[in-house]
Structure 1
Amino acid sequence: MSTNERLAALAAAGVSIWLDDLSRERLRTGNLQELIRDWYVVGVTTNPTIFAAALAQGDAYDEQIRELAARGASVEDAVREITVTDVRDACDIFRETWESTGGIDGRVSLEVDPGLAHDTEATVAQALDLWKAVDRPNLLVKIPATEAGIPAITRALAEGVSVNVTLIFSIERYRAVMEAYLAGLEQAAANGHRLGSIESVASFFVSRVDTEVDNRLEKIGTREALELRGKAAIANARLAYAAYQEVFAGERWAALEQQGARVQRPLWASTGVKNPEYPDTMYVTELVVANTVNTMPEKTLKAFADHGEVLGDRVTGRAAEARAVFDALERVGIDVSDVFRTLEREGVEKFEKSWQELGETVRAQLDAAE
């Protein structure tokens, strides 16, 4: 199988391949266009960590930094302009994909400041500001699925903003996200928005679940515990898909669908394998199912193109098997609820730290340009 055939098979199975990375360098060199043309990439996601890494490398941002410094821009304004510029340009590159897929793919995500993750009002305000600033119909504004983020999701959608809900770890929180989506669409319709123009994905994080659970299993150290390593993340995602099927087969959804609404697709995030003992494509192969997104770093994308396998639908109808995994985890002493609380807290903290690093990098570059 050639490189393209493997990715073509993945796309044919109903998986939208999104790249989990963006930089001015990719935009400037034509690398992003190449990935769209030759590697079946139909969308891009960003986060504070990605932007912090992009700003710290090379000279691609030097010209804009000099312009911002000359204007006396604050660090906050500079970060906003830099990230909005990259995302707007990426949206333009994906415009043809957006049009050819009827607005489903060709999407680029931009995250609200993670420091606002526990502030509903500020999250809503920034989501609306980013939507207006980028001013592209194929933008997705990323809002975290924290307790404060849930009502913000509904309110952003109600204003016609397309949303990528991020940092989802538990099924319980995922159900709250889907509820927020339905409520947002209902309010959007009441506000006169055309529901067919609103798109949303729910980013369910994968590899981090295994990392946290495996660490706890290794501390327990029994044979039964060790045999469960590497099973929690895929089981969790399969349970999420079962919940998705349930919600989007209900009467409440049917009423919205009649008004032109689209389902909120599950997006498998954090699909790069962190444990080198595991197959490097397992979070792609084992989560193949129609009408989903897999957003992957370029390393995982290229690995799948080289040796990945599409073994058919690996998700539908496997909820009972997945529940059995969690029953076994609890039997050996894993506090599953604590795992998810820990992952959400650490997820927000990691993005906050990256956002701070991004600001520090921009501050240093502004100072150097003066």
Structure 2
Amino acid sequence: MGSPLQQLSDAGVSVWLDDISRQQLRSGGLAALVAERGVVGVTSNPTIFAKALSEGDAYDSQLRDLAVRGVSVEEAVRSVTAYDIRWGADVLRPVYEASGGVDGRVSLEVDPRLARDTERTLAEARALWWLVDRPNLMIKIPATVEGLPAITAALAEGISVNVTLIFSLERYRAVMEAFLAGLEQAREAGRDLSSIHSVASFFVSRVDTEVDARLAKIGTEEAVALRGKTALANARLAYAAYEEVFSGERWAALAAAGARPQRPLWASTGVKDPELPDTLYVTELVAPGTVNTMPRATLEAVADHARITGDTVRGSYEAARAHLDAVEAVGVNLADVVEKLEAEGVDKFVTSWEELLERVSQQLAAHS
């Protein structure tokens, strides 16, 4: 039957790694994961880069040169992160070519401080697309209300987009609308739709973390029995929405013009509750045409002991709706949950971005 990771691939799930670092690239670690673990994509975020800069001396040479040149801290951060992303894209280029551009993707996020500013988000997306200059790049844009028009505009210009920080079904539908609108504008401009790719990163574990805390606070037997299941129900209904939108006439017209669907990507799949199985958000979200981006620990756990039992999403929609209804019925306001999670998600990445700026500032000073 092959390894669990191979079984995932056979079931239509693309395995992406939620991690990147200069040390990993320099040592050949990423290339090994591609060859030995079937990793076919990489995602990054400000937290990942802040951690990478704090470990070892892999960045010293480049930072020394940047210090000598007297560049600003923000320019140095962009130079450092773009270097890693460009290198990662080159490692994954054979996967990109073999998959016809579907996989082999590496994602780089816009400055999270711009999450509520449409115009500046779009301007930064353009700048990063130019800076990295690799066809298998994806620019990560948050699915805030202000981010949606930037997503449409970027896609219309031919920029491939990883839409991040999606928590709610309502916002996910708005993201798919932004995607369709962007491709329609690209088609009108005469662009090659087959070269424009997108994924929609639907966050998983954070939903359970927040909902389960509220269920525990309610404390009734009925409430406690609902713990550990909301994130899966939410994600499964997102896939139902995906199936609905990408089987409609509007999508059919774009597909006929060469467009590729915007795949659902399960993000935040590391299990945070030690009482839950450490592979839960992988084994229970198996469906064709999806991506699961895993932290290294989750990837290794899946490789070691996950049991892949085939499609665990389709056929579960009625039970998923019933679960969300039950959560609401015991007193958890899911609209409030996802609103809080989006705000916290933006804030956490801003904090990580500021930590990254401070770390680079200190290292530039040390080398000047």
TM-score, scaled to structure 1? 0.99
What residue in structure 2 maps to residue 322 of structure 1?
Answer: 320
* Matched ranges for 1:180-195 at <5 A: 180-195=178-193
Deviation >6 Å, runs of 4+ = none
Shift of 1:191: 1.6
Q: How does 1:155-166 map to 2 (within 5 A)?
A: 155-166=153-164
- SS of 1:142's partner is strand
In structure 1, what is the equivalent of residue 86 of structure 2?
88
Q: Distance in 1 between matches of 2:217 and 2:133?
A: 49
CA distance in structure 1 between the partners assigned to 2:190 and 2:120 by the alignment:
24
Corresponding residue of 2:197: 199
Q: How many Å separate the matches in 2 of 1:329 and 1:7? A: 33
Q: How far apart are the structure 2 equivalents of 1:202 and 1:6?
A: 24
Superposed displacement of residue 320, structure 1: 1.2
- Partners of 1:364 and 1:119 in 2: how far apart? 28
Letter in 2 for 1:224: E
- How many residue pairs match? The answer is 368
Alpha-carbon distance between aligned partners in 1 of 2:294 and 2:361, rounded to the nearest angstrom: 30
Q: Which residue of 2 aligns with 1:124?
A: 122
Q: What's the counterpart of residue 144 of structure 1?
A: 142
How far did 1:123 drift?
0.3
Q: Deviations over 1:258-299 (max 9, x none)?
A: 000000000000000000100000100000011100000010
* Residue 308 (structure 2) aligns with: 310
* Secondary structure at 1:253 match in 2: helix
Alignment equivalent of 1:63, drawn from 47, 61, 64: 61
Percent identity over the alignment is 65
> Which of 75, 78, 87 is the matching residue for 2:76?
78
Equivalent residue in structure 1 for 2:243, among 241, 245, 263: 245
Q: Is 1:9 the counterpart of 2:7 in the alignment?
A: yes
SS in 2 for 1:193: coil
Match of 1:99 in 2: 97
| Offset at residue 132 of structure 1 (A) | 0.6
Look up the match of 1:153: 151
| Residue 319 (structure 1) shift | 1.4
What is aligned with 2:276?
278
SS of structure 2 residue aligned to 1:79: helix
1:176 aligned onto 2:174: yes
Is the partner of 1:18 in helix, strand or coil? strand
Give the distance between the partners of 2:302 and 2:87, measured in 1 at CA.
27
Match 1:333 to one of 331, 334, 344: 331
Q: Does 1:349 align with 2:347?
A: yes
Paired AA for residue 38 in structure 1: E
Q: How many angstroms apart in 2 are the aligned matches of 1:255 and 1:290?
A: 22
TM-score (normalised: structure 2): 0.99
Structure 1 distance, partners of 2:227, 2:107, is 32
Q: Give how far 1:130 is off.
A: 0.4
Letter in 2 for 1:325: H
Choose the corresponding residue for 2:366, options 360, 365, 368: 368
Counterparts of 2:229 and 2:4, CA distance in 1: 25
Distance, in Å, in 1 between the alignment partners of 2:134 and 2:115 is 24
User: In the alignment, what sits opposite 1:110?
Assistant: 108
**More deviation in 309-318 or 97-106?**
309-318
Gaps of 5+ in 1: none
Distance 1:46 1:359 in 2: 16
Give the secondary structure class of the aligned counterpart of 1:154: helix
Tell me the residue number matched to 1:289.
Answer: 287
How many angstroms apart in 1 are the aligned matches of 2:182 and 2:192? 12
Deviation at 1:317, TM superposition (A): 2.3
Question: How far apart are 1:318 and its partner, in Å?
Answer: 1.5
Structure 2: unaligned runs, 5 residues or longer: none
2:214 paired with 1:216: yes
Deviations 1:64-122 (A, max 9, x none): 00000000010000000000000001000100000000000000000000000000000
User: 1:291-349 deviations in whole A, cap 9, x for unaligned?
Assistant: 10000001001001110011111001221111101110011000000000000000000
**2:119 aligned counterpart, secondary structure:** helix
Distance in 1, matches of 2:56 and 2:111, equals 24
Root-mean-square deviation over aligned CA pairs: 0.7
Quote the Cα distance in structure 2 between the aligned partners of 1:49 and 1:170.
23
Q: Does 1:47 align with 2:45?
A: yes
**What SS does the aligned partner of 1:19 have?**
strand
Q: CA deviation at 1:219?
A: 0.6
Partners in 2 of 1:5 and 1:142 — Cα distance? Answer: 30
**2:40 aligns to what SS in structure 1?**
strand
SS at match of 1:41: coil
Separation in structure 2 between the aligned mates of residue 338 and residue 277 of structure 1, nearest angstrom: 25
